[in-house]
């Protein structure tokens, strides 16, 4: 647990934890608002956005990539709404129509323009490259206090930490309107709390988290962390804020445990190669959900409360 | 262009022809099975099943290799895919019915966790067969390039079987999809029809894996159904139109992908379907956006200004006025009354 761990494993674990918690926090409210699949939809449309941004700028500048992805995410939200209204179809079908089409556009652009020669490719987009986010500048644990070494941390960590702080701030500052907009939109409107704006902010926050995390760790962690930790926490408690903190803890635990199991697990079992960390993080969180679905104290739907 | 026409007319080689026919049959079945699923408001359950096929494909590969095979038999891989897809469907059902999680959350959880498990297994396979490609990546986005004849036959057979089952079940499925209550009184077992529909969706998902890929197969189930909805309100017609759109998408998409080795089949099939969807959304008579805008313009002012003026003028005209004698409802008001009189009426209605 010395220099090697600090260089190779600590940064990916930190990045994984930041990404997981930044997705899980807004995921709680999406889950309660029946928008749980938004993370899934956004992470599919991020690909065409990034490809178009790359084709326009000719470089892999993170800012351009993120802008492209955000524009694509917003376009998808507008298109889903349009299909739902004009097509008179249920939200799930509208979502499925739009995000698969945009994803198909992204793959086709990637394959036909030669953009796949660079580090953009579909498998990379799905699996991420958590393992490659290492900290060359570190020598041992002391590097955590050395400003020169800290400046050499992977830039993804800074970006994800920023998104995480933004998520915490949004939820902390707007907690009352957020709760009102989530549980009783009519009440929120009547008391002048603008639930539509709060909801839109939540979607924007989720999109920002998805895009940033996607770029660093791949789609699968994004999709899993939006849904699984909040769903697990939902089966453990009735109290909203307990659920939010529990989900953050579960997300962080999945990220750390998943990374360690993927990196070291096969070695313990006598193998030579590590396995996909992104996949393992999703699997670990899924095991948590399975346990909660079997044993969670609040796993059942509540009967209607008896009248007093 | 020549290549595309050749592929479209099944002249681009025997395998390409088999693949095109298979994809068309598959599209037909996907359109019909997808209609059932979309009308039952369970469109995205298929997405969970599709992602749940990945661990099955990888496990089947590992098992076949462990028994000394090469691990490439498409039938074997698809059997593995079907097994884990069924597990995924079961998991979604369990989470939705036995816990308080809503269906969309169950779908998202099952989809991401099974896909993650698949990725873990894929990296295990990569580590095992360092150097030589297992070729399982083709299942992510679908590919028709370099398909063996046996594989093409498997796809074509799968499409044909699904088509036959749908043809046999078309009546109960259409009735249950449109009116559950009526279906129950007509003696149709709704639960079993639902199960049959979902199994059919599962079958189509698995059969389409090699061509369309697991990330996009759900599109071939949803988009034809949603597009067909613009053209008709009748159950039987809807199934037929959706099947037609799916079939055309499969046929044209695979023909397009045959024109260049780097063109993945899945996205092309999906984009052909999406093109048909967009055309339906805009131009379908009755429900399309253009037709609706036109109808809205025709209906917009309930009475035009001209008509209101005519109505007032008629009420206030004396019997000798030329208005009474000559009005046939079509002659412009300005031909019947002097300009100042019309201006006066105009002022009166404000």
pLDDT, tens digit, 9 for 90 and up, residues B91-112: 999 999 999 999 999 999 999 9
Contact A95, A106 (CB under 8 A): no
Mutation test of the interface with chain A: which of B59, B98, B109, choosing the one with the most A Cβ atoms within 10 A?
B109
Any B CB within 8 A of A262 CB? yes
Structure tokens that stand for B336 in this block = 């019947």
Condensed to tens digits (0 to 9), the pLDDT of residues A158-210 reads: 889 999 999 999 999 988 888 888 888 888 888 888 888 888 888 888 888 88
Per domain, the residue ranges of chain B are 2-291, 305-349
| b/e per residue B20-44 (b: at least 16 CB within 10 A) | bbbbbbbbbbbbbbbbbbbbbebbb
CB-based contact (8 Å) between A1 and chain B?
A: no
Structure tokens at B8: 């479209």
Distance from CA of A69 to the nearest CA of B (A): 19
- pLDDT attached to residue A305: 61
CB neighbour list of residue B135: distance below 8 Å, 6 or more residues apart:
B72
Which of A96, A233, A293 would you mutate first to test chain B, the one with the most B CBs within 10 A?
A96
Cβ–Cβ gap A36/B102 under 8 Å: yes
pTM given for the model: 0.84
A-chain residues within 8 Å CB-CB of B119?
126-127, 220, 276, 278-279, 282
The residue behind tokens 């400046």 is A151
Contact A228 B287 (CB under 8 A): no
Q: What is the pLDDT of residue A230?
A: 96
Do B45 and B89 form a contact (C-beta atoms < 8 A)?
Answer: yes
Q: How far apart are CA A261 and CA A157, in angstroms?
A: 21
Residues 139-168, chain A, touching B (beta carbon < 8 A): none
Nearest residue in B to A272, CA atom: B127
- Cβ–Cβ gap B263/A273 under 8 Å: no
Separation in Å, CA of A37 to nearest CA in chain B: 6
CB B43 within 8 A of CB A92: yes
Cβ contact (<8 Å) for A104 and B270?
Answer: yes
Q: Flag residues of chain A having pLDDT under 50.
A: none
**Cβ A224 vs Cβ A16: under 8 Å:** no
Show the low-confidence residues of chain B (pLDDT under 70).
1-2, 12, 129-134, 145-146, 300-306, 317-334, 348-350
Between CA B99 and CA B75 the distance in angstroms is: 35
pLDDT at residue number B85: 95
Using the beta-carbon criterion (under 8 Å), do B271 and A108 form an inter-chain contact?
Answer: yes
- What is the structure's pLDDT at A248? 96
Taking every pair of C-alpha atoms in chain B, what is the biggest distance, in angstroms? Answer: 105
Do the chains contact at B44 and A108, CB–CB below 8 Å? no
Report the run of H or E that residue A29 belongs to, with start and end.
helix A10-32
Q: Is B238 on the interface with A (CB under 8 A)?
A: no
Chain B nearest-CA distance from A151, in A, is 32
Residue B87 to chain A, least CA–CA distance (Å): 13
Please indicate if any CB of chain A lies within 8 Å of the CB of B140.
yes
Hey, is the C-beta of A228 within 8 angstroms of any chain B C-beta? Answer: yes
Residue B330 CB-density burial (10 A; 0-12 exposed, 13-18 middle, 19+ buried): exposed
Domain B2-291 class, CATH top level: mainly alpha
Q: Which residues of chain B neighbour A238 with C-beta distances below 8 Å?
A: none
In angstroms, the CA A120 to CA A54 distance is: 9
Contacts with B222 from chain A: Cβ below 8 Å: 93, 96-97, 100
CB contact under 8 A, A293 and B95: yes
Interface membership of A81 toward B (CB under 8 Å) = no
Contact state of A293 with B98 under an 8 Å Cβ cutoff: yes
Q: What is the pLDDT of residue B225?
A: 92
Q: What is the pLDDT of residue A202?
A: 86
* Torsion sign, CA atoms A199, A203, A206, A208: negative
pLDDT at B130: 53
Q: Which two tokens stand for residue B126?
A: 């990569």
The answer to whether the Cβ–Cβ distance between A92 and B44 falls below 8 Å is yes
Nearest to A215 by CA among A95, A107, A70: A70
The long-range contacts involving A130-134, CB below 8 angstroms and separated by at least 24 positions, are: A130/A12, A130/A15, A130/A16, A130/A216, A130/A217, A130/A218, A130/A221, A130/A259, A130/A277, A130/A278, A131/A12, A131/A263, A131/A274, A131/A277, A133/A11, A133/A12, A133/A15, A133/A157, A133/A216, A134/A7, A134/A8, A134/A11, A134/A12
Question: Any chain A CB within 8 A of the CB of B116?
Answer: yes
User: Given B43, B101, B140, which is nearest A90 (Cβ)?
Assistant: B43
Residues of B in contact with A272 (CB under 8 A): 127
Cβ-based contacts of B122 with chain A (< 8 Å): 276, 279
B218-237 residues touching A, CB cutoff 8 A:
218-219, 222-223, 225-226, 229-230
Across the interface, whether the CB atoms of B222 and A83 are under 8 A apart is answered no
Beta carbons within 8 Å of B117's beta carbon, 6+ residues apart:
A279, A282, A283, A286, B54, B55
Q: Which helix (H) or strand (E) holds A100?
A: helix A91-113
Cβ contacts from A onto B, under 8 A? 212
């Amino acid at each position: 647990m010395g220099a090697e761990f600090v260089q190779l494993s600590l940064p990916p674990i930190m990045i994984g934890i930041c990404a997981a918690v930044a997705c899980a926090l807004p995921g709680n409210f999406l889950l309660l608002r029946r928008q749980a699949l938004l993370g899934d939809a956004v992470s599919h449309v991020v690909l065409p956005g990034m490809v178009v941004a790359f084709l326009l700028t000719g470089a892999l500048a993170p800012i351009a990539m993120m802008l492209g992805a955000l524009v694509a995410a917003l376009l998808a939200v507008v298109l889903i709404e349009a299909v739902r209204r004009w097509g008179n179809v249920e939200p799930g079908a509208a979502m499925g129509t739009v995000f698969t089409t945009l994803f198909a556009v992204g793959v086709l652009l990637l394959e036909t323009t030669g953009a796949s020669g660079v580090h953009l490719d579909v498998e990379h987009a799905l699996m991420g490259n958590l393992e490659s986010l290492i900290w060359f500048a570190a020598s041992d644990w002391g590097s955590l206090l050395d400003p020169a070494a800290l400046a050499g941390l992977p830039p993804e960590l800074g970006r994800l930490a920023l998104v995480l702080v933004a998520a915490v701030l949004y939820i902390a500052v707007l907690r009352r309107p957020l709760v009102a907009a989530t549980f009783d939109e009519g009440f929120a409107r009547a008391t002048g709390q603008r639930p539509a704006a709060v909801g839109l902010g939540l979607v924007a926050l989720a999109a920002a988290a998805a895009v940033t995390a996607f770029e660093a760790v791949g789609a699968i962690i994004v999709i899993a962390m939006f849904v699984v930790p909040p769903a697990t926490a939902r089966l453990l408690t009735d109290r909203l804020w307990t659920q939010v903190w529990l989900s953050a803890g579960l997300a962080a635990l999945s990220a750390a445990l998943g990374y360690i199991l993927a990196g070291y697990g096969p070695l313990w079992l006598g193998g030579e190669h590590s396995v996909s960390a992104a996949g393992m993080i999703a699997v670990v969180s899924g095991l948590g959900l399975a346990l909660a679905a079997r044993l969670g104290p609040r796993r059942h739907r509540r009967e209607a409360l008896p009248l007093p | 262009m020549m290549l595309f026409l050749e592929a479209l007319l099944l002249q681009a080689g025997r395998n390409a022809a088999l693949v095109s026919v298979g994809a068309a049959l598959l599209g037909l079945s996907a359109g019909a099975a997808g209609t059932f699923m979309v009308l039952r408001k369970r469109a995205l359950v298929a997405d969970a099943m599709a992602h749940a096929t990945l661990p099955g494909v990888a496990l089947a590969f590992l098992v076949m290799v462990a028994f000394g095979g090469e691990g490439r038999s498409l039938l074997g891989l698809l059997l593995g895919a079907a097994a884990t897809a069924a597990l995924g469907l079961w998991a979604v059902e369990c989470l939705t019915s036995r816990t308080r999680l809503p269906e969309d959350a169950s779908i998202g959880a099952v989809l991401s966790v099974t896909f993650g498990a698949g990725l873990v297994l894929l990296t295990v396979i990569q580590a095992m067969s360092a150097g030589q490609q297992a070729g399982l990546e083709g299942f992510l986005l679908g590919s028709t390039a370099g398909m063996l004849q046996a594989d093409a036959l498997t796809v074509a057979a799968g499409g044909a079987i699904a088509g036959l089952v749908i043809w046999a079940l078309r009546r109960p499925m259409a009735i249950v999809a449109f009116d559950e209550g009526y279906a129950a009184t007509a003696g149709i077992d709704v639960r079993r029809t639902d199960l049959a529909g979902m199994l059919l969706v599962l079958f189509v998902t698995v059969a389409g894996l090699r061509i369309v890929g697991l990330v996009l197969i759900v599109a071939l189930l949803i988009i034809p159904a949603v597009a067909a909805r613009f053209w008709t309100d009748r159950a039987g017609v809807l199934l037929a139109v959706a099947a037609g759109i799916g079939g055309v998408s499969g046929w044209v998409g695979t023909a397009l992908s045959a024109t260049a080795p780097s063109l993945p089949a899945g996205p092309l099939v999906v984009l052909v379907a999406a093109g048909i969807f967009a055309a339906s959304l805009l131009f379908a008579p009755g429900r399309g956006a253009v037709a609706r805008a036109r109808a809205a313009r025709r209906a917009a002012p309930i009475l035009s200004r001209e008509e209101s003026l005519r109505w007032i003028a008629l009420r206030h005209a004396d019997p000798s006025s030329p208005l009474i004698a000559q009005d046939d409802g079509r002659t412009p008001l300005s031909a019947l009354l002097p300009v100042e009189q019309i201006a006066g009426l105009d002022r009166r209605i404000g």
